Structure 1
Amino acid sequence: MDHLDAMRVFVRVVERCSFTRTAEDLGLPRSTVTEAVKMLEARLDVPLLLRSTRHVRPTPDGERYARHCRSILNDIEVAEASFSGRSPQGVVRASVHGTLARFFLLPHLPDFLARHPGLSVELRESDRLVSVIEEGFDCALRVGVPRECDLMMRRVTTLPEVTLVSPAYLARHGVPTHPDRLLADGHRMIGFWCSAVNGPMPLEFLCDGERRTVSLPTALTVSSAESYTAAAHAGLGIIQIPRYHAAAALAVGTLVELLPEFPLPAVPVTLLYPRSRHLAPRVQVFMDWVQGCFRA
């Protein structure tokens, strides 16, 4: 294994915090991954990783070296692409919300792959806030206001949201007339767990142009968008989701809109990616394509 390949392996170990996961990602024997790191440590004469039976993390020298490696490898990819005239090559690893992927991205993916035959795409679905760098993603497509200050951000679109309940829920609890009456009139919400606040997200409304939050009792809290919607169909409480995700249910009446005169603020959709002087061509074309999917 040459020096550049060893650097690629080392960066992946730092991102994945695991020799085993790195070997699986790169399709290499675990012993090859271990030897690549040992070769770099011998070359630099410093320990790059702290190893335990359950965890691998970089030393301070390892963190500094990994930053230099990322910059070097990215510059090489950009330079080679500018001279080769070839279409981008390699794997794009992206974290996405599953509902966004299924509704906006997957229908357009065959055309994207046909136009870029040298690329393959690895979509990891998650409703949690992944760590883009530590978990080895090239980018993440997020719904909501990003909180990461160490990543670059690219606004993709905003999505209108809607407050929903099932007809059965309304039959039991009645139709509220104002967000301020929800708690007093005994209404319940389905909690959607948010790691950023370490608890269920409150409901949000616009009242006289001002954003207002309302927290209600919850009999159920979930961390999956699909379970969140399914719980509303089961009549367990009030939910708030992007309107596109509710279109089919609204059309057939299995969910109904609540308090439409007090709409939610539109929710931003953002691409997050690591800071770099240059963006690798494979990541650039993928993010351009993602943005186009929301315009289609």
Structure 2
Amino acid sequence: MDQLLAIRAFARVVEAGNFTKAADSLQLPKATVSKLVQTLEAHLGVQLLQRTTRRIAITPDGGAYYEKSARVLKELEDIDASFSAAHARPRGHLRVDLGSSVANRLLVPALPDFLARYPDIRIDLGVSDRHVDLIGDNVDCVIRGGALTDPGLVARTIARASWITCASPGYIERHGKPKHPHDLEKTHRVVNYLSALTGRPLPMHFERNGQRLQIIARHAVGINESNAHYAAGLAGLGVIQTFAFIARDAVARGDLVEVLPRWRPRPYPLHLVYPPNRHLSQRLRVFIDWLADRFETQLEPKSPKRSSPA
């Protein structure tokens, strides 16, 4: 038995939650992964996993064995990395998941610089506004915003994105400017951003002199993708609240006009998140450091052109 390979196979099954995803991440046939785990169980004389036709579950013995073996695997990877890092450039494959507006407006335009620095790294981007399962989907890292709800993940705050509330000149000509956030609930139309997870509108946030408001106005149009949400604002469908880096150029051109500038909410933290039991490879380390530097630069440019106070 190749005990090290069997341990790696068992660990990936636990992390991925099933044999199919584990086999894909190891680039092995599913039958081979299953056989490796069975051989490991026979070698140890204990059952590590409970298998049914619908799911697998880790046994108490399996949980204890995984906790100890995961530490050993990480130590081995650290040893390998410490020797290889001194003699080779970062190389290999990174899988990164992020939202569409961050991808289109921040990361993708900056990637030529990263690839010029690290030509031996290959990047696959998963772009959507839904959250993925890092372990189950075999993703190296994700870029997420707001409060983090999973204490089992490691996160580094890489930037803070400012908000802007705005509308098209045509909309303002027809409906005027709101003078207070509550006007959005009464006399104005809004384009709500819908949660990709629940389908419900996310509240618009406002803050002034320590007073904080959350507004969920009734909408004629709700959208669950950030670039389409921005396009709805440009089309004059209503007031939108979006990231300043999305609307900055449109505001500078006069295609969007900021409203309620005295009610800007506090900036929104962006985090780079990765699994705690996954070895932080050299390629992921350099990507994280590069990303933090680039995002800080891109999110701290000149403030968008402001309209007269509302």
Name the counterpart of 1:161. 163
Name the counterpart of 1:185. 187
Name the counterpart of 1:75. 75
Name the counterpart of 1:102. 104
SS in 2 for 1:271: strand
Q: 2:243 is aligned with what amino acid?
A: P
Question: Would you say the 8 A contact 1:203–1:215 is kept in 2?
Answer: yes
Q: Which moved more, 1:238-247 or 1:96-105?
A: 96-105
- 1:179 Cα offset (Å): 0.9
Question: Would you say the 8 A contact 1:229–1:239 is kept in 2?
Answer: yes
- 1:114 Cα offset (Å): 4.5
SS in 2 for 1:100: helix
Q: Deviations over 1:37-87 (max 9, x none)?
A: 222222233333343444444334434433334322222121112123233
SS in 1 for 2:185: coil
Q: Deviations over 1:115-139 (max 9, x none)?
A: 4455333322232233434443332
| Mapping for residues 248-287 of structure 1, pairs under 5 Å | 248-275=249-276, 279-287=280-288
Asked whether 1:36 is paired with 2:36, we answer yes
Question: Would you say the 8 A contact 2:191–2:229 is kept in 1?
Answer: no
Name the counterpart of 1:137. 139
- 1:172 Cα offset (Å): 4.2
Name the counterpart of 1:91. 93
Q: 2:221 is aligned with what amino acid?
A: L
- 1:286 Cα offset (Å): 2.0
Q: For the residues of structure 2 that align with 1:50 and 1:90, how far apart are their CA atoms?
A: 34
Compared with structure 1, are the counterparts of its residues 277 and 192 closer, same or farther at alpha carbon in structure 2 (3 Å cutoff)?
Answer: closer
- 1:245 Cα offset (Å): 1.1
TM-score (norm 2): 0.81
Q: Deviations over 1:203-222 (max 9, x none)?
A: 11112232221111123333
SS in 2 for 1:179: coil
Q: 1:231 is aligned with what amino acid?
A: A
Question: Would you say the 8 A contact 1:193–1:221 is kept in 2?
Answer: no
Q: 1:6 is aligned with what amino acid?
A: A
Question: Would you say the 8 A contact 1:188–1:217 is kept in 2?
Answer: yes
Compared with structure 1, are the counterparts of its residues 181 and 149 closer, same or farther at alpha carbon in structure 2 (3 Å cutoff)?
Answer: same
Compared with structure 1, are the counterparts of its residues 111 and 54 closer, same or farther at alpha carbon in structure 2 (3 Å cutoff)?
Answer: farther
Q: For the residues of structure 1 that align with 2:113 and 2:208, how far apart are their CA atoms?
A: 43
Q: For the residues of structure 1 that align with 2:168 and 2:209, how far apart are their CA atoms?
A: 26
Q: 1:38 is aligned with what amino acid?
A: Q
Percent identical residues: 38
Q: For the residues of structure 2 that align with 1:151 and 1:80, how far apart are their CA atoms?
A: 24
Q: For the residues of structure 2 that align with 1:221 and 1:53, how far apart are their CA atoms?
A: 40
Q: 1:287 is aligned with what amino acid?
A: I
Q: Which moved more, 1:214-223 or 1:109-118?
A: 109-118
Question: Would you say the 8 A contact 2:21–2:136 is kept in 1?
Answer: no
Q: Deviations over 1:212-246 (max 9, x none)?
A: 21111123333321232233334333322111111
| Mapping for residues 200-215 of structure 1, pairs under 5 Å | 200-215=201-216
Query: What CA RMSD, in Å, does the superposition of the two structures yield over aligned residues?
Result: 2.8
Unaligned runs of 5+ in 2: 298-310
Compared with structure 1, are the counterparts of its residues 250 and 51 closer, same or farther at alpha carbon in structure 2 (3 Å cutoff)?
Answer: farther
Unaligned runs of 5+ in 1: none
Residue 175 of structure 2: which of 170, 173, 176 is its match?
173
Question: Would you say the 8 A contact 1:190–1:237 is kept in 2?
Answer: no
Question: Would you say the 8 A contact 1:12–1:136 is kept in 2?
Answer: no
Name the counterpart of 2:62. 62
Question: Would you say the 8 A contact 2:189–2:237 is kept in 1?
Answer: no
SS in 2 for 1:219: strand
Name the counterpart of 2:301. none
Compared with structure 1, are the counterparts of its residues 30 and 150 closer, same or farther at alpha carbon in structure 2 (3 Å cutoff)?
Answer: closer
SS in 2 for 1:270: strand
Asked whether 1:288 is paired with 2:295, we answer no
Q: For the residues of structure 2 that align with 1:230 and 1:50, how far apart are their CA atoms?
A: 49
Q: For the residues of structure 2 that align with 1:34 and 1:291, how far apart are their CA atoms?
A: 40
Q: 1:240 is aligned with what amino acid?
A: Q
Q: Which moved more, 1:118-127 or 1:49-58?
A: 49-58
Q: 1:256 is aligned with what amino acid?
A: V
